Amino acid sequence: MRPPSATELRRGVLAVSVLHDVDIEPAALGITLPGTPTLWIPWAECRRALAGHDPETTGRRRLADWLLARRWAADLSAEHLVQRLRPVGLPVEHVLHPGLDWVRERVLGDALDLGLGAVDLDPADPERVVLLPPTALDAAGLDQEEMWARTRTMLDDLGRLAAERVRRDRRGQLRPLGDCDVVTLLGSRALRAALAEDAGGMGAAVVPMRTRGWTRLGLIDPAFGPAAARATESQHRGFDRPLLVTADELTLVAPGGRAEAFALRDPAVADEPWLKDVLYR
């Protein structure tokens, strides 16, 4: 894909400024974000933020998120930024995925990427975990590998707690914990190992949205996962197909099949749906 020209970047930045209310001062070689400190963002970083997307269409939201995160992070001291760091997991093809520069770890199976975010950055929603551009850490003088190692420990601890909780849930539901959503928690080896062990070696999960997942698939319709994913807004969507889980790997099942046909053949749908303990009948 052809990288955007300086003219296209200028038009995209102007759209970000107008439509997303970001204070931007364009220049010949990049843009300035006014504030204390003033931030200089070269066009090369803007291209990294776009991750191959068109700055005037699909990339505009990405560019706005990147620039806002840069501004918010720069408003904090390095010490305060470290305290706000959180792990974030996203499906590899997710609409919010900031690109390969953001990825600190890819779980085996090519389904889930892990990177850094921070809470209490967005003034309008302090509880939201904002995806943090790598350049924000560099500007604060923080080592990315060291910060990821600290945050990874946090994810592992939360994963162990999530494993205990899902074992106590009769439906095997996965729910957010701390500042980590369900997709992020699946980045914890401790949680994946627990799911695989309980299933006899390889577990399965349906995670159609970032805030909810199910691990006891015998209790839900086969068509539920894909249908729920399609019904969920793209920024809140999880995985559009079921997952196979081992301690070291997380992978999507192969595409294809007609789950809705199996659901319609289920006697619980046509005859006595109240007799079977399943979701969303």
pLDDT in tens, 235-273: 999 999 999 999 999 999 988 655 444 444 555 544 555
Last residue of a domain, one of 75, 92, 121: 75
Regarding whether 167 and 71 lie in a shared domain, the answer is: no
Q: Which long-range contacts (CB under 8 A, 24 or more apart) does 32-37 make?
A: 33/67, 33/70, 33/71, 33/74, 35/71, 35/74, 35/75, 36/75, 37/74
Q: How far apart are CA 99 and CA 42, in angstroms?
A: 18
Q: What does the pLDDT read at residue 1? A: 60
Has residue 124 been placed in a domain? no
Structural domain for 53, as ranges: 1-75
Whether 114 is covered by a domain: the verdict is no
Q: Is residue 136, in this structure, part of any structural domain at all? A: no
Burial class of 70 by CB neighbour count within 10 A (0 to 12, 13 to 18, 19+) = buried
Q: Look at residue 271 in the predicted model and tell me its pLDDT.
A: 53
Residue 203 falls within a domain, yes or no? yes
Give the C-alpha separation, 139 to 145, whole Å: 15
Res 171: pLDDT? 86
- The reply to whether 122 falls in a domain is no
Quickly tell me which residue has 């904090």 as its tokens: 76
Rounded Cα distance between 183 and 114, Å, is 10
Over residues 110-115, the mean pLDDT reads 97
Report field, pTM of the whole predicted structure over 0.85:
yes
Residue ending a domain, choose from 44, 75, 106: 75
84-103 pLDDT per residue, tens: 999 999 999 999 999 899 99
- Is the alpha carbon torsion for 126, 67, 70, 155 positive or negative? positive
**Domain boundary residue, one of 11, 40, 75:** 75
CB environment 167-198: b (16+ within 10 A), e (fewer): eeeeebbbebbbbbbbbbbbbbbbbbbbbbee
Q: pLDDT tens digit string along 207-222?
A: 999 999 999 988 888 8
Cα–Cα distances in angstroms (integers) from residue 35 to residues 25, 133, 193, 234, 271, in the given order: 11, 18, 46, 32, 65
Are residues 163 and 270 located together in one domain of the fold? Answer: yes
Asked whether residue 167 falls in the same domain as residue 66, the answer is: no
State the total domains in the chain.
2
Q: Given this model, what pLDDT does residue 269 score?
A: 47
Q: What confidence score (pLDDT) does residue 3 get?
A: 80
Tell me whether residue 231 is in a domain.
yes
Does residue 58 belong to any structural domain of this protein?
Answer: yes
Q: Is the peptide bond before 226 cis (omega within 30 degrees of 0)?
A: no
